[in-house]
Structure 1
Amino acid sequence: MRKSIHALSQTELIDALKMNNSYILKQFYTLHYKKVEALVLKNSGSTEQAKDVYQDAFITVWTHVKNDKFVPKNDTALQGYLYSIAKNKWTDILRSKAYKNSNVLNETTLTEIKDNKESTTNEQELKLKAAMAAFKNLDQPCKQLLSDFYFEKKSLKDIAQSFKIEENTARNKKYRCMQKLRNMVIAPKKERIGR
């Protein structure tokens, strides 16, 4: 019989995530989404933005766990870590000029693509797998930039220096790379619908 996520210790949960246990990954992913959605909706965001922020945060946590960059300090450490990363990502989005300028356009585009369809648990699992696969298939500059920003927690200023570009250019590149990643995740879904 499969063990419920609630019955796992932090060490067992981390081991399951490291082994890509799809049953536990799916449970962990769906269990904590609502809390992040509530945070985003309460702070000027939409459901679509909440899903994007949560997915970004989840991939960051999953990568940190796999690379042994996270050590639990208590029984809810991983859950708290996921929430704090999501909160920081949403704060960064709210502060960015790109968000302020493109918010209306971005919302409309995402709504059209998703066609206001509510994601089921199965769709969330597929979306997560697609995001992980898409990240591996990103071109090297995008992969490097996103890794530096989300996984290594480097500032845009530091990233700009290592890429020998202006900070604003780095911010725009990061935004475009995230769009590229989202499109890689969304495009296969559109192809399946079109068939």
Structure 2
Amino acid sequence: MDAEDAFQKGLLSLLLNIETGKYQYQPGTRVTTVVFEYCKRVWLTELKSARLRMRGAMPDVVDTADSADILEDLERLDVVKTVRSSLEQLKDDCRQLIEWFYVDELSLREIAERLGMKESSARSKRYSCAEKLKSFYEQAAHKQGL
């Protein structure tokens, strides 16, 4: 619960700094990095506070490798969300074909049988659907700065 509180306080601090003009967005800066840094500062302040001092000693050094891992996880989560939203933009038949091929790992022969078409037609349709998905992903990623 303390981590959740620190996260909320960090977001609030960021929003207040944006509103007051203390924080100015700089192109090329990832929002996840900024949010993480604000939350990390709040968390470290909480650890130093008297309220938590009795629970354990404050470490002398903060492991920055953990910070990098968390940032990578947040960025990976952004990519997954973007892929999911891109999949939702596909028509049902394309989304189903992509899921069968990439998630369920069905062969093109099995997919063709399910769709009642030739294997070469299923291959062409899979390529077309994958290109549409790629296009949707690139548009969304560009908007989000991924």
TM-score w.r.t. length of structure 1: 0.33
TM-score w.r.t. length of structure 2: 0.43
Higher RCO, Cα 8 Å, sep 6+: 2
The structure number with the bigger radius of gyration is 2
